[in-house]
Amino acid sequence: MTEKSHSGVQSKSTNAVTKESVDQLQILHICSVQQESKKFKLWYVRLQLGSKYVKFKFDTGAECNTLTEDDYKKLSPQPQLLPAKVALKPYMSERLIYPIGKIKVSAFEYYVVSAWDRVDNLLSLDSCEELGLIKRTDKLSVIPDHEDLFTCSLYSSEAESNTETDGDFRCY
């Protein structure tokens, strides 16, 4: 049963969040909310959770994985919904999203969010890396005929030098 508290927070009665308890929650950032973009090509993957395949959007700015309540209800067998002592904070938004719970499937945790929150199924940077979906290469490839767009050197935070050392690329 869905309840609404005096602060306007929607939650499940088994995992109700009150204004007094918000200060005790860990805030996890997510970067993507439900939106389709014709300007950017979004990356998706279908993962098997139990006997069902679920479509997830890569969110390399997210600190956690999310799963919609609708997709959670379709899982078979359905994992136990555990209390979620976190709030999710979308990029460039002041609102907080309070998951109705969390589940663990294989080695991954997913925060289950209500359809009212308008959040997609998201895979965090850590999960994408762990699954081998993305890989940090520590290389910068310049697009042919566009070499003039960046002047880059390898930067080491330990010393202000352009020597060949492990470090970050600094473009200016």
Question: Which residue ranges make up each domain of the chain?
Answer: 2-130, 137-172
Give me the pLDDT at residue 48, please.
92
Tell me the whole-structure pTM to 2 decimals: 0.66
CATH for 2-130 is: 2.40.70
Instruction: Give the E-state strand segments of 13-171 in sequence order.
Output: 26-30, 44-49, 52-59, 65-68, 86-90, 101-105, 108-113, 122-124, 152-155, 168-171
* Whole-number average pLDDT of the chain: 74
pLDDT, tens only, 40-56? 677 889 999 989 999 99
